[in-house]
Chains A and B, each alone.
Chain A
Amino acid sequence: MTAQSAGMGRAAAARPQPRVRAKDLLGFVFIAPWLISFLAFDLMPILSGFYHSFTNWNALGIAEFIGWANYEEALTRDPLFWVSVNRTLYFIAGSVPLGIFAAFTLALLLNANIRGTGFYRTVYYLPSVVPTVAAVIVWIFIFETRRGILNFGLELLGLPTIRWLSDPNWAMPALIIMSLWTIGAAMIIFLAGLQGIPQELYEAAEVDGANGPQRLFGITVPLMTPTIFFNLIMGLVAAFQAFNNAFIMTAGGPRNATLLYMLHLYNNAFRYFRMGYASALAVMLFIVVFGITILVYRSSDRWVYYS
């Protein structure tokens, strides 16, 4: 094998192939912009981030190597670290399953052979094109205690009003509610998946006398598991790194009720300029996100059906 490939290599080298060589180089010229940006904006920052997570560093002076001290501080001495972990898990547990369930249900309804699918699809995707900051400003106003439209709705239903953004118990549910406003993209991905299911399967099931729920859980859901899997991973990765909404809406308050992990990281890096410590926080999140992606991926052959 080795001798053979070496022989082939020699044969290839012996034959003069200047045009192929030049063409090889040309290929690299085409992808050069990405190669440069990969080195400068992906690889270099990651290596530098890993290194600086072991240092004490204020971004200006020289980084002092301190071993595992940053990690030790986060896991044992920083009370806000565990608060932020807890808040992030709460946010994920609330927003990811609800979002996937709602998006999947909507896609099912849109796929039910009714009129106006295009209209509904447009309306449900509309919030996803609203720029983040504008959307959050709008939702701050919706959540306002005295003038907000959400409390107006509660009043109409005869329910007590809620201090959404100033009550530590309600600020996180408010964030989760807002996250459900932008399920349009996930819904479109589900809809595309549903439209890819062969119609004959349903016809055959109908001939066999399968009822609606049987068709749903016997055909649709199993065939949709790859798409559910994709939306689950993307949802988890995004939720772990959620920042903008909480930062703009509540800045982590009230009383740290919405202090997501990314907000804690941001505070350490860009408020207190503890770059070494914040790098350690970033590395830990990186490892967790990476680990979860792999875990979900490896569990997928047990529940994802690939035809």
Chain B
Amino acid sequence: MLNSIRLQNVVRRLSIHTVLLAGSLIMVIPLLWTLSTSLKTQQQIAIWPPEWIPNPVKWSNYIEVFGAAPVMLWIRNSLVIVAANVFGSVVTCSLVAYGFARMRFPGRDALFILLLSTLMMPYIVRLIPLYVFYSQIGWLNTFLPVTVPQLLARNPFFIFLLRQFFKGIPFELSDAARIDGCGEFGIWWRIILPLSKPALAAVAIFAFRDAWDNFLAPLIYMAGAPHLRPLAVGLYTLRGGGGQLPDTNYLMALSTLMVIPMLIMFAMGQRYFIRGVTLSGIKG
């Protein structure tokens, strides 16, 4: 009796692991396949059935791709956008979150609900009017549409995330600082921010991801400025038309290069990722 229960348990566990491992393979194969293809010559790519480990391994794709397209320029442009997004999100969203979490003023709660409601607003209703607005104020084909809004607390989710965290910090700390003559900005900067590193790290990571990933905004607002293209748009322009990819090995090398910073961030800050995603589910 006991044995059969134990056996049943083992069988159950084994079958769960089998399903989960099969699923893991499906998740990972596209990435391994990309890596493998990025290390092949065009001739090796055409081999059927495909080889998983290329023979010989063509590491030089990763150097040649920089000559095949203005990759350095694209990366630089991406980093400009990323820097503005990370800096802007951390500083301005935390400022706004501090106001909502730890200050009292008329209409605060109504304004916060308004802020949350913009989370559910489809981005497309803004797309066209903003395009026209940017064109009228001469911002089209500059970095401004993808950097300035981010410097103005553009992300309601970040504000929400930081507000939740700030609310959990004991108010006695603020009171003590006030007695010592600290103003609200001082409390925000000297007390709240240093105590909120995990939340700020989560915001920084998500801001990095969003900016590195941002495709539609630069595609539309910077369409006429090829020299300002970020990596995402640059990679898209390499894709070309038709059913097949030209120079697949270079494309895969560049895709891998684009994934690597995200993998490093994920490896270093996985718990912030997970916590942030989990928190996004709580607001519902």
Contact = CB atoms under 8 A, between A and B. Distances in A.
Interface of A: 23-31, 33-38, 40-42, 44-46, 48-49, 52, 59, 106, 109-110, 112, 114, 116, 120-127, 129-135, 137-142, 144-147, 149, 152, 155, 165-166, 181, 184-185, 188-189, 192-193, 226-227, 229-231, 233-234, 237, 240-241, 243-244, 248, 251, 262, 265, 269-270, 275, 278-279, 282-283, 285-286, 289-290, 293
B69 interface: no
Contact of A286 (B122, B132, B154): B122
Ranked 6 nearest A-B pairs via Cβ: A30-B99, A27-B105, A230-B284, A189-B281, A45-B129, A37-B152
Contact of A283 (B125, B184, B223): B125
18 contacts: A29-B99, A30-B103, A33-B153, A34-B153, A38-B118, A41-B152, A44-B133, A112-B16, A122-B270, A127-B30, A129-B209, A130-B262, A134-B255, A134-B258, A147-B46, A189-B277, A227-B284, A290-B120
B110 interface: no
Interface of B: 12-13, 16-17, 19-20, 23-24, 27-31, 33-34, 37, 45-46, 48-50, 92, 95-96, 98-100, 103-106, 108, 111, 114-115, 118, 120-133, 135, 149, 151-154, 159, 184, 188, 209, 212-213, 215-216, 220, 223, 232-233, 235-236, 239, 241, 243-245, 248, 251-252, 254-256, 258-259, 262-263, 265-266, 270, 273-274, 277-278, 280-282, 284
A137 B31 CA distance: 11
A262 B124 contact: yes
Given A240-B122, A269-B131, A137 B235 contact: yes
Contacts of A114: 13, 16-17, 20
B27 A248 contact: no
A122 B266 CA distance: 9
A230 B278 CA distance: 12
A152 B49 contact: yes
Contacts of B254: 134
DSSP class of B's interface residues: helix, strand, loop or mixed?
helix
B147 to A, nearest CB: 13
Instruction: Give the interface SS of chain A, mostly helix, strand, loop or mixed.
Output: helix
